[in-house]
């Protein structure tokens, strides 16, 4: 730390902050404070911030903060020399007026000392001065105002100050402000509060009230000692993780808490000093699907259910309390009493739902609106079922087609169950349980759950062919339908998650290497919307949208923009081929002949474009005059069958490797042969030769895209 700087602490003490927003609020508060102080010149370039966030406070510790920002040189452009000075070099009235406006008292010495700078064709006068640096009080006030204005507040509250007249708008009512530069209070104010050094600790367990912070560097330690508060969010989170692991070990051998980062962040935001306790419920509740029990414990109670070594739910759970009594029995008992009605509700929903089959619920989908232009969920289900049957018949035959159609018809029926009505996150999952209860096959039951997959980036794909077919049908129906009525994502807006649906289609087609040409598949799906009023197939637009998502995904996987562009520009219809094409392009690019052939390919493309697409792919051997064009034709006759044979078997690497033999004859052709000669027959023949060369070279990828 610089000898002229000290560390700074700022804390705003408030009523309980929204837990799901706390982490972001703390990070934003500290980050904006530091950035603004650096911009003003009060924080050193090497200064760093530490963010603190608890349910009742936002704070920031910033290193290397000056009491006074250094003065800054300021160069003020005045006017052209010809306007500001007369023939004798004296100040003109215009210059005197300008200097007076700047608060500068003009005299001969000052005028003579004005800096002259050649400004384009004109020589101009500049006045150099020093602007006094901001004081910490003024600069911190500006930084504090900026930090509060920039907070990502989910919902602003309005409340009155103690005088009963002034209204304040903030995330929660604020009751205290600390601003310390070292040990000194910085006189700033905000939200009707003046800065001091006092704060409040834990509501029930603080050793002192108020807690007095003597020095900026003693904040976290003093709060822990006197206030029973772990101020640092990350430190408090790590302590909860440690306690959860220790409590799980005490609860039973092989038990571990469910992993849920969002829940962990939320619980961290609910406590100031965590105390993890073990609770349990009656084993008979375990007859309910564990997903239901886990979700109700996490979502409603913020508990961490305990799983055994096989991943099965136990009847024990962990709770993170904000108080640490000597005897925690009352806390444990209270939480156990609270969770039982939640679990009983889940059991009731499960028992009631199983009294009606999924099939019996399907007709009611006709009364559930899907989209005002695309009709009801019932109409949508019929489209998805027809699409699934068509895809299955292409891929797997009659049995899979029948199962896929059945699963598609039933896939949305669980939306009408009590359990999914209470917990929408369980859609599909509950459908699988109810399908098995109805005696349906495991393939159909799995497909009902899996047709939503992949639900998010990195999610697993459907586990069977039936599930894959229904998942494809569901996502394709959504994409084609919404594109067909103009609901195309723009910018960051994607209310129907169409980007996610497109990535799901891409992953299934590629990773399962499905023989489903993209354009034909989209056209077939579009036919299912023939009865929808106002529907206009947007297959080309949708196909471009899918290829854009695909290109982004491939770049994220480590392929270069050139490699991706070379393959995607051809719009391969079978997406499962694309990884093999990319591997082939990468192998080709490492050949010594690659750069020359890519450059030649680009040149060929330019020549063919200028020919206005009138080029025939035929070559008249009798019109081959020059030795170089005869040699190129002979090379094509020899090489193209080899490359095509490898292409037809899917060996794209071998197909491109075969083209390496064309380098020498191609180079010789461009060195020795004039393509655009006067003789039209000769010119057309040579263009035809180049067209055959282009077609041969660009079956796997557009190799010209590899050219620098």
204 within some domain: yes
* pLDDT of residue 119 exceeding 90: no
- The answer for residues whose C-beta is within 8 angstroms of residue 240's C-beta and 6 or more apart is 264, 267, 268, 271, 274, 276, 320
Domain count, the chain: 5
Mean pLDDT over 272-282 rounds to 97
Highest averaged pLDDT of the listed ranges 164-178, 340-354, 680-694: 340-354
Q: Are 434 and 551 found together in one domain?
A: yes
Please, what is the angle between helix 594-610 and helix 680-697, to 10°?
130
CA 70/CA 690 separation, integer angstroms: 69
Q: Are 61 and 193 found together in one domain?
A: yes
Tell me the pLDDT of the chain averaged across its residues.
93
| Upstream peptide bond of 210 is cis (omega within 30 degrees of 0) | yes
Mean pLDDT over 441-449 rounds to 97
50 within some domain: yes
- What was the pLDDT predicted at 506? 96
Mean pLDDT over 286-290 rounds to 96
Mean pLDDT over 544-569 rounds to 94
Q: Are 168 and 265 found together in one domain?
A: no
Greatest alpha-carbon pair distance for the chain in Å reads: 107
Q: Are 530 and 419 found together in one domain?
A: yes
- What was the pLDDT predicted at 609? 81
CB 448 within 8 A of CB 411: yes
Mean pLDDT over 352-373 rounds to 96
Q: Are 539 and 640 found together in one domain?
A: no
Instruction: Among 113, 131, 149, give the residue marking a domain's end.
Output: 131
CA 657/CA 651 separation, integer angstroms: 10
CA 136/CA 43 separation, integer angstroms: 10
DSSP string, 532-578: STT----HHHHHHHHHHHHHHHHHHTT--HHHHHHHHTT--S-GGGH
Q: Where does the pLDDT of residue 149 fall: very low under 50, low under 70, confident under 90, or very high at 90 and above?
A: very high
- The answer for residues whose C-beta is within 8 angstroms of residue 650's C-beta and 6 or more apart is 577, 580
Q: Are 214 and 239 found together in one domain?
A: no
pTM summary value: 0.80
- The answer for residues whose C-beta is within 8 angstroms of residue 204's C-beta and 6 or more apart is 323
SS3 at position 348 = helix
- What was the pLDDT predicted at 2? 44
DSSP label at residue 457: T
CB 315 within 8 A of CB 293: no
Q: Are 420 and 382 found together in one domain?
A: yes
CB 59 within 8 A of CB 219: yes
* pLDDT of residue 260 exceeding 70: yes
Tell me which residue range forms the domain holding 640: 583-706
* pLDDT of residue 3 exceeding 50: no
CA atoms within 13 A on the CB side of 74: 11
Rg (the chain; Cα; Å): 36
Mean pLDDT over 258-266 rounds to 96
Sign of CA dihedral 553, 571, 525, 461: negative
Q: What is the CATH number of the domain that holds 16?
A: 3.30.70
| Better pLDDT: 60 or 591 | 60
- What was the pLDDT predicted at 16? 95
- What was the pLDDT predicted at 606? 82
CB 77 within 8 A of CB 126: yes
Structure token pair of residue 691? 């067209």
SS3 at position 225 = helix
Sign of CA dihedral 234, 240, 241, 246: positive
Q: Are 299 and 408 found together in one domain?
A: no
- The answer for residues whose C-beta is within 8 angstroms of residue 702's C-beta and 6 or more apart is 565, 566, 567, 569, 570, 601
- What was the pLDDT predicted at 131? 78
Mean pLDDT over 521-531 rounds to 94
- The answer for residues whose C-beta is within 8 angstroms of residue 381's C-beta and 6 or more apart is 362, 365, 408, 409, 411, 412
Q: Are 387 and 455 found together in one domain?
A: yes
574 within some domain: no
| Better pLDDT: 366 or 625 | 366
Mean pLDDT over 580-609 rounds to 88
SS3 at position 528 = coil
Strand partners, 118: 123
* pLDDT of residue 319 exceeding 90: yes
| 55-69, 112-126, 308-322, 444-458, range with the lowest pLDDT | 112-126
503 within some domain: yes
665 within some domain: yes
239 within some domain: yes
- What was the pLDDT predicted at 708? 64
CB 236 within 8 A of CB 230: yes
* pLDDT of residue 1 exceeding 70: no
Q: Are 13 and 155 found together in one domain?
A: yes
Q: What is the CATH number of the domain that holds 598?
A: 1.10.730.10
> Rounded to 5 degrees, what angle do the CA atoms 268, 270, 272 make?
75
CA 674/CA 657 separation, integer angstroms: 28
Among 244, 356, 249, 350, smallest CA distance to 304 is for 244
Mean pLDDT over 432-446 rounds to 97
Rounded to the nearest 10°, the torsion over CA 104, 105, 108, 112 is -10
CB 174 within 8 A of CB 191: yes
* pLDDT of residue 493 exceeding 50: yes
Q: Are 160 and 148 found together in one domain?
A: yes
């290829």: which residue's tokens? 547
Mean pLDDT over 63-85 rounds to 88
572 within some domain: no
Q: Where does the pLDDT of residue 613 fall: very low under 50, low under 70, confident under 90, or very high at 90 and above?
A: low
CB 30 within 8 A of CB 143: no
Instruction: Among 329, 353, 377, give the residue marking a domain's end.
Output: 353
305 within some domain: yes
Neighbours of 129 (CB within 10 A): 14
pLDDT in tens, 163-187: 778 898 999 999 999 999 999 999 9
Mean pLDDT over 619-637 rounds to 91
Q: Are 365 and 508 found together in one domain?
A: yes
CB 216 within 8 A of CB 49: no
Instruction: Among 185, 207, 227, give the residue marking a domain's end.
Output: 227
DSSP label at residue 174: E
Among 248, 256, 314, smallest CA distance to 281 is for 314
CB 450 within 8 A of CB 471: yes
Q: What is the CATH number of the domain that holds 542?
A: 1.10.3210
- What was the pLDDT predicted at 612? 65
Mean pLDDT over 269-278 rounds to 97
CA distances from 81 to 120, 361, 700 (A): 13, 88, 67
CA atoms within 13 A on the CB side of 295: 18
């Amino acid at each position: 730390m610089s000898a002229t700087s000290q560390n700074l602490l700022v804390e705003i003490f408030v009523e309980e902050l929204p837990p799901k927003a706390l982490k972001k609020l703390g990070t934003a508060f500290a980050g904006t404070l530091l950035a603004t102080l650096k911009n003003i010149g009060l924080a050193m370039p090497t200064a760093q911030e530490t963010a603190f966030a608890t349910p009742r406070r936002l704070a920031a510790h910033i290193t290397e903060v000056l009491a006074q920002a250094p003065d800054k040189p300021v160069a003020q452009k005045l006017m052209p020399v010809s306007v500001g000075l007369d023939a004798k070099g004296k100040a003109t009235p215009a210059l005197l007026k300008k200097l007076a406006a700047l608060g500068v008292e003009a005299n001969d010495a000052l005028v003579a000392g004005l800096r002259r700078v050649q400004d384009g064709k004109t020589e101009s006068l500049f006045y150099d001065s020093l602007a006094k640096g901001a004081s910490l009080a003024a600069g911190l006030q500006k930084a504090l105002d900026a930090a509060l204005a920039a907070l990502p507040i989910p919902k602003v509250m309005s409340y009155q100050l103690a005088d009963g007249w002034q209204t304040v708008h903030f995330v929660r009512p604020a009751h205290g402000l600390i601003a310390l530069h070292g040990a000194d209070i910085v006189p700033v104010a905000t939200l009707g509060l003046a800065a001091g050094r006092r704060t409040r600790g834990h509501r029930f367990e603080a050793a002192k009230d108020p807690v007095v912070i003597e020095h900026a560097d003693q904040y976290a330690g003093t709060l822990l000692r006197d206030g029973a508060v772990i101020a640092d969010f990350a430190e408090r989170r790590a302590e909860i993780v440690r306690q959860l692991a220790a409590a799980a070990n005490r609860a039973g051998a092989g038990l571990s808490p469910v992993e849920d980062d969002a829940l962990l962040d939320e619980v961290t935001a609910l406590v100031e000093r965590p105390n993890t306790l073990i609770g349990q419920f009656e084993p008979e509740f375990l007859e309910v699907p564990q997903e239901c029990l886990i979700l109700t414990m996490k979502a409603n109670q913020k508990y961490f259910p305990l799983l055994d070594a096989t991943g099965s739910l136990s009847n024990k759970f962990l709770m993170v309390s904000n108080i640490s009594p000597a005897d925690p029995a009352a806390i444990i008992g209270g939480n156990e009493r609270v969770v039982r009605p939640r679990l009983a509700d889940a059991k009731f929903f499960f028992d009631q739902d199983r009294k009606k089959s999924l099939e019996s619920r399907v007709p009611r989908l006709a009364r559930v609106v899907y989209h005002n232009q695309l009709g009801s969920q019932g109409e949508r289900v019929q489209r998805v079922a027809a699409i699934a049957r068509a895809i299955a018949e292409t891929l797997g035959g009659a049995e899979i087609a029948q199962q896929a159609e059945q699963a598609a018809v039933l896939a949305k029926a669980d939306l009408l169950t009590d359990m999914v009505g209470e917990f929408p996150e369980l859609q599909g999952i509950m459908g699988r349980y109810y399908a098995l209860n109805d005696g349906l096959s495991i393939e159909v039951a799995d497909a009902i759950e899996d047709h939503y997959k992949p639900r998010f980036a990195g999610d697993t794909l459907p586990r069977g062919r039936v599930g894959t077919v229904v998942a494809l049908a569901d996502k394709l129906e959504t994409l084609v339908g919404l594109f067909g009525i103009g609901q195309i994502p723009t910018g960051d807006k994607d209310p129907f998650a169409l980007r996610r649906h497109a990535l799901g289609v891409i992953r299934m087609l590629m990773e399962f290497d499905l023989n489903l040409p993209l354009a034909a598949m989209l056209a077939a799906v579009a036919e299912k919307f023939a009865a929808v009023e106002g529907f206009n197939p947007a297959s080309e637009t949708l196909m471009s949208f899918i290829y854009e998502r695909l290109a982004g995904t491939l770049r994220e996987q480590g392929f270069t923009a050139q490699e991706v562009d070379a393959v995607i520009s051809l719009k391969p219809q079978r997406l499962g081929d694309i990884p093999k094409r990319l591997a082939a392009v990468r192998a080709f690019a490492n050949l010594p002949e690659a750069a020359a052939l890519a450059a030649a390919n680009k040149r060929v493309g330019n020549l063919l474009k200028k020919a206005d697409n009138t080029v025939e792919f035929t070559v008249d051997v009798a019109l081959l005059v020059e030795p170089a064009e005869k040699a190129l034709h002979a090379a094509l006759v020899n090489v193209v069958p080899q490359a095509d044979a490898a292409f037809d078997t899917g060996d794209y690497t071998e197909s491109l490797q075969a083209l390496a033999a064309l380098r020498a004859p191609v180079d010789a052709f461009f060195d020795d042969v004039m393509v655009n000669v006067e003789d039209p027959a000769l010119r057309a023949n040579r263009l035809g030769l180049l067209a055959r060369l282009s077609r041969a070279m660009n079956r796997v990828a557009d190799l010209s895209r590899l050219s620098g």
